[in-house]
Amino acid sequence: MHKDMLADFLLKGTSLLKEEDPELERLLVQEHQRQLNTLTLVAASSIAHPSIFACLGSSIGNLTTEGYPARRFHGGCEVADEIERLAIERAKVAFGACYANVQPHSGTSANQIVIGSLLKPGERIMGLGLNSGGHLSHGSRASLTGQWFDVVEYHVNEESLLDYDEVWRLACQTRPKLIVAGASAYPRSIDFARFRAIADEVGAYLLADVSHIAGLVVAGEHQSPINEAHFTTTSTYKQLYGPRGGLILMGRDSEQLSSDGRSTLAERLQKATFPFFQGTPSLNVIAAKARALEMVVSPKFKLLTYHVVENARALAGELQARGYDVLTGGTDNHMVILNIASNGLTGIIAERALEECGIVVNKNRIPGDTRSALITSGLRLGTNSVAMRGMGVKEMRMCAELVDRVLSSISVRNERQYILPEDVKLEVREKVEELCSSFAIPGYEE
Residues that bind ligand PLP (CB under 6 A): 44, 106-108, 135, 137, 182-184, 209, 211-212, 235, 246
Task: Quote the CA–CA distance of 290 and 292 in Å, as a whole number.
Answer: 6
Q: How many CA atoms lie less than 13 Å away from 157 in the CB half-sphere?
A: 9
Question: If DSSP codes are grouped into helix, strand and coil, which group holds residue 362?
Answer: strand
Closest CA to 288 of 234, 233, 235, 244: 244
Task: Quote the CA–CA distance of 86 and 122 in Å, as a whole number.
Answer: 38
Distance of CA 53 to the CA centre of its chain: 18
- What ranges in 214-339 are assigned the alpha helix state H? 214-219, 265-271, 283-295, 299-321
Residue 84 or 209 with smaller CB distance to ligand PLP: 209
Task: Quote the CA–CA distance of 330 and 267 in Å, as a whole number.
Answer: 41
136 is in an annotated binding site: yes
Residue 196 or 380 with smaller CB distance to ligand PLP: 380
135 is in an annotated binding site: yes
Instruction: Give me the phi and psi of 435, to 5 degrees please.
Output: -60, -45
130 is in an annotated binding site: yes
Residue 88 or 183 with smaller CB distance to ligand PLP: 183
Residue 184 or 377 with smaller CB distance to ligand PLP: 184
Residue 101 or 137 with smaller CB distance to ligand PLP: 137
Q: How far is the CB of 161 from ligand PLP (least distance, A)?
A: 17
* The residue type at 343: N
* The residue type at 295: M
Task: Quote the CA–CA distance of 39 and 437 in Å, as a whole number.
Answer: 10
Instruction: Give me the phi and psi of 378, to 5 degrees please.
Output: -125, 165
Task: Quote the CA–CA distance of 418 and 90 in Å, as a whole number.
Answer: 49
Q: Is the dihedral of CA 49, 53, 54, 55 positive or negative?
A: positive
The secondary structure element, H or E, covering residue 379 is strand 378-382
The region, left, alpha or beta by phi > 0 then psi within -120 to 50, assigned to residue 67 is left
Task: Quote the CA–CA distance of 238 and 334 in Å, as a whole number.
Answer: 11
Task: Quote the CA–CA distance of 5 and 10 in Å, as a whole number.
Answer: 9
Q: How far is the CB of 190 from ligand PLP (least distance, A)?
A: 11
CA distances to 132, 155, 323, 324, 407 from 342, in Å:
18, 21, 10, 8, 12
CB closest to ligand PLP, residue no:
107
Residue 138 or 177 with smaller CB distance to ligand PLP: 138
Residue 44 or 293 with smaller CB distance to ligand PLP: 44
Q: How far is the CB of 262 from ligand PLP (least distance, A)?
A: 30
Q: How far is the CB of 212 from ligand PLP (least distance, A)?
A: 5
CB atoms within 10 A of CB 346: 25
Distance of CA 83 to the CA centre of its chain: 24
Residue 358 or 378 with smaller CB distance to ligand PLP: 378
Residue 235 or 385 with smaller CB distance to ligand PLP: 235
Task: Quote the CA–CA distance of 443 and 388 in Å, as a whole number.
Answer: 11
Residue ranges at the known binding site for (6S)-5,6,7,8-tetrahydrofolate: 130, 134-136
Residue ranges at the known binding site: 130, 134-136
